[in-house]
Amino acid sequence: MYEKKDKKNAEEKPRLTSLAELGEFGLIDRLTRNVEIYHPETLRGIGDDAAVIDAGDDVMLFSTDLLVEGIHFDLTYMPFKHLGYKAAVVNISDIAAMNGVPRQMTVSLAVSSRFSAEALDELYAGILMACNKYRVDLVGGDTTSNVKGLTISVSILGVAKKDEVVYRSGARQGDLLCVSGDLGSAYIGLLVLEREKSVFHVDPNMQPELSGFDYQIGRQLKPEARTDIRNLLIGLGVKPTSMIDISDGLASEILHICKQSDVGCKLFEAKIPMDEYTRELAKEYKIIPSVAALSGGEDYELLFTVPQTDYEKIRDVGGISIIGHMTAAAEGKNMITPDGKSIPIKAQGWDGMKDR
């Protein structure tokens, strides 16, 4: 009797949804679908690079990131000082993506007993190095033990004028699609580091061959936040209509802007800015160079849109590339190849919920 009952219960058990099936952003949408905003000073909550809180003449920007050993970083080749610097910078980049100025930061750690106090000294040296460079106050945090590994949680506050803050949702049909710097080098740097890690596992006596890859490895281990873009654009008399930082790959970020702004886009593959040696290295790894830019991630450059009327102001500015334009949503999100073919843009970059 009991066996029959158990069998029936097993048959009636509902199918559970795996996190990998949802993906990171699908999971966020699911978990936050019933979120309600109770306070009028909360101007923008979930769905942008930072939350936006009314603070009188200004707005307060708030963002947080979680970095987990084995998922977001590998201590085989990531020095603690670089890890601390990067943990701070990726949060500072979120404030830059809102056209704001970073001000205060908290850092919390969950750390296992396999780490020494000296290792954490190095981690904080990197955090403080970033705080000094970007003029951010480290104002608090928390520490606790961890059964295994290291987890870092960083939260950051920033500020912006109400009429200066930029969201992902402001792009309009006809706006120019622009990006700062160059893309894809951080991903290629990661491939170089992973290659040398594999060699090390085969022969621990081998010395890593990293010479000649300084730029690519630097982009991976020590990225910089583009806080300079705000002042550059102000000096040009240009205010972006939308903006996002490139953490998960160009394709993913373009799709975020399109979704939040309810527009489509045309991205021209030949216009994607890349370091020439990065292009060569991508080919050596049998990767189409543009794929490294579209899906690699961790460049922390800024992707933004501006009105067509600002074309003359921005077209010849060093370090900024016009890579396409926004279209009606019905036209889709497409990349135009050098031979004129139109390919739908798909997000194949970083997804924190994928099985690893």
Q: Are residues 120 and 187 in the same domain?
A: no
Q: State the greatest distance between any 2 C-alpha atoms of the chain, in Å, as a whole number.
A: 81
Q: Are residues 54 and 203 in the same domain?
A: no
Query: Is there a contact between 42 and 53 (Cβ–Cβ < 8 Å)?
Result: yes
Q: Which of 118, 146, 161 is the last residue of a domain?
A: 161
Q: Which of 133, 161, 189 is the last residue of a domain?
A: 161
Segment 269-296, tens digit of pLDDT = 999 999 999 999 999 999 999 999 999 9
Residue 354 counted as domain residue: no
Q: In this structure, what are the phi and psi dihedrals at residue 249, rounded to the nearest 5 degrees?
A: 115, 145
Tokens at residue 99, please?
Answer: 């056209």
Segment 87-125, tens digit of pLDDT = 999 999 999 999 999 999 999 999 999 999 999 999 999
Residue 52 counted as domain residue: yes
Residue 14 counted as domain residue: no
Residue 85 counted as domain residue: yes
Answer yes or no: is pLDDT of 350 > 50.
no
Answer yes or no: is pLDDT of 38 > 70.
yes
Give the pLDDT confidence score for residue 172 in this predicted structure.
Answer: 98
The CATH number of residue 304's host domain is 3.90.650.10
Segment 226-254, tens digit of pLDDT = 999 999 999 999 999 999 999 999 999 99
Spatial CB neighbours of 309, under 8 Å, sequence gap ≥ 6: none
| Total structural domains within the chain | 2
Query: Is there a contact between 98 and 48 (Cβ–Cβ < 8 Å)?
Result: yes
pTM: 0.89
Segment 40-90, tens digit of pLDDT = 888 887 778 899 999 988 999 999 999 999 999 999 999 999 999 999 999
Segment 308-317, tens digit of pLDDT = 999 999 999 9
Residue 208 counted as domain residue: yes
Q: Which of 108, 127, 161 is the last residue of a domain?
A: 161
Residue 153 counted as domain residue: yes
Residue 13 counted as domain residue: no
Residues spanned by the domain of 316: 168-344
